[in-house]
């Protein structure tokens, strides 16, 4: 098929019925990114944006787009990578981050679980009694991204979540009946805690497939490995369901996100605390007196001590 500009199409955007050539495809993705940033008021020229990067496609495409946006909006930008301590995975993907930052001339900061918390993820998952790797990883990564962004002077933390990530989490929280978490998925609409760096997700309306194709067309080299720790089975099922539905009914993922966005002001009003308290021990924002990170660190210390005794 041909693009409306006359060139050969490389992408059939089923949910809008368009056939796009490489050039028009890239412009469309860039436009979508810009619209999301603008309509949500994500970035002002006074901002310092920390871009969370992993070496995977989403975060490197995000870094690339944010760097491009700097030509129009004069904000400051740096990249922040978290080394969880997953041998054979993160040590493989971090060079992609280094290379991208060097190419774009964006400063890079790396923080590790080991240095920040005392344990690499591989050490934690070697414990006999443990919860899933993703539970530790998710909690520690979120905590470290926030504290490191803040310490480095960021006013916004940009994350590479795409449309597929967002629609999967919306559906998972609904299916689990996790109303509290369901209501906390959007951006905070008001100031709740000085220690909290507001998160922005400028790729939230872009399908994962378009991110991959954009990376290919823009010559962005990324690691397409998946984390060696088995992903949650439930997420896989939800992903498959959404993909099958999207194939039969293009636009489903967008519709789910739009529904959520329309609900969000009401959810936010009902569920968002006016003040988010701080953890009694570490001072990071936390709904409970002891934050999840500190709670898990206690559990790890006890678990490793028991392993030593046996």
Partner 1 sequence: MVRVVLLREEQILDLAYEGPAQGLLPLVGYSVETAVVLCNGVPIEEEDEVGEGDEVRILPVVSGG
Binding positions for Zn ion, rule: CB under 5 A? 3, 5, 7, 21, 24, 279, 281-282, 291, 294
Q: Do the strands 108-112 and 76-83 form a parallel or antiparallel pair, or are they unpaired?
A: parallel
Closer residue to partner 1 (CB): 249 or 288: 249
Rounding to the nearest 10 degrees, give the CA dihedral for residues 131, 132, 137, 138: -100
Cβ 243 to partner 1, closest distance in Å?
4
* CB of 31 vs Zn ion, minimal distance in Å: 13
Structure tokens at 158: 């940009």
Count of positions (residues) in the chain: 310
Among partner 1, Zn ion, none, the one that 285 touches (CB under a kind-dependent 5 to 8 A) is none
282's contact among partner 1, Zn ion, none, with CB below 5 to 8 A by partner kind, is Zn ion
CB-based contact 204:62 (threshold 8 Å): no
Residue 77's beta-bridge partner residues? 49
User: What does 279 bind: partner 1, Zn ion, none (CB cut-off 5 to 8 Å by kind)?
Assistant: Zn ion
- When the beta carbons of 28 and 238 are compared against Zn ion, the nearer one is 28
- Choose between 233 and 270: whose C-beta lies nearer to partner 1: 233
The least distance separating Zn ion from the CB of residue 113, rounded to whole angstroms, comes to: 15
# residues contacting partner 1 (CB under 8 A)? 36
Report the alpha-carbon distance of residue 178 to residue 188 in Å, rounded.
Answer: 18
| Partner in contact with 29, chosen from Zn ion, partner 1, none, beta carbon below 5 to 8 Å by kind | none
**In this structure, which long-range contacts are made by residues 22-27, counting pairs with CB atoms below 8 Å and at least 24 apart in sequence?**
22/217, 25/210, 25/213, 25/214, 25/217, 26/214, 26/217, 26/218
Q: By CB under 8 A, is residue 134 in contact with partner 1? A: no
Query: Rule CB under 8 A: is residue 224 a binding residue for partner 1?
Result: yes
Which residue is associated with the tokens 């280094």?
Answer: 98
| Residues 137, 117 contacting (CB under 8 angstroms) | no
Using alpha carbons only, give the angle 281, 287, 293 rounded to the nearest 5 degrees: 50
- Cα–Cα distance for residue pair 222/214, rounded to 1 Å: 12
151 binds partner 1 per the rule CB under 8 A: no
Q: Nearer to Zn ion by C-beta: 227 or 276? A: 276
Q: Min. distance of Cβ 216 from partner 1 in angstroms? A: 6
User: In the complex, which residues of this chain contact partner 1 (CB under 8 A)?
Assistant: 1, 9-12, 14, 19, 22, 54-59, 93, 160-161, 164-165, 208-209, 212-213, 216-217, 222-227, 239, 243-244, 246-247
């Amino acid at each position: 098929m041909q693009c409306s500009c006359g060139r050969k199409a490389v992408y059939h955007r089923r949910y809008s019925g368009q056939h796009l050539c490489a050039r028009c495809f890239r412009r469309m993705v860039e436009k979508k990114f810009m619209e999301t940033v603008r309509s949500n008021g994500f970035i002002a020229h006074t901002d310092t944006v920390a871009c969370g990067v992993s070496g995977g496609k989403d975060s490197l495409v995000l870094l690339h787009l944010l760097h491009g946006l700097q030509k129009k909006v004069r904000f400051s930008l740096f990249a922040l990578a978290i080394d969880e301590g997953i041998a054979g995975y993160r040590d493989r993907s971090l060079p992609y981050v280094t290379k991208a930052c060097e190419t774009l001339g964006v400063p890079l900061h790396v923080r590790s679980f080991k240095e920040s918390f005392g344990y690499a993820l591989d050490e934690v998952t070697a414990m006999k009694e443990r919860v899933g790797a993703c539970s530790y990883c998710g909690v520690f990564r979120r905590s470290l991204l926030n504290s490191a962004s803040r310490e480095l002077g960021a006013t916004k933390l940009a994350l590479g979540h795409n449309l597929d990530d967002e629609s999967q989490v919306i559906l998972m929280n609904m299916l689990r009946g996790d109303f509290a978490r369901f209501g906390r998925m959007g951006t905070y609409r008001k100031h709740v805690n000085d220690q909290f760096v507001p998160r922005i997700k400028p790729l939230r309306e872009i399908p994962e497939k378009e991110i991959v194709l954009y990376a290919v067309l823009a010559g962005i080299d990324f690691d397409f490995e998946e984390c060696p720790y088995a992903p949650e089975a439930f997420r896989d099922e939800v992903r498959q369901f959404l993909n099958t539905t999207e194939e039969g009914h293009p636009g489903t993922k967008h519709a789910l996100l739009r529904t959520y966005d329309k609900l969000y002001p009401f959810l936010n009003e009902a569920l968002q605390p006016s003040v988010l308290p701080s953890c009694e021990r570490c001072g990071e924002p936390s709904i409970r007196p002891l934050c999840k990170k500190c709670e898990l660190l206690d559990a790890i210390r006890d678990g490793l001590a028991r392993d030593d005794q046996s």
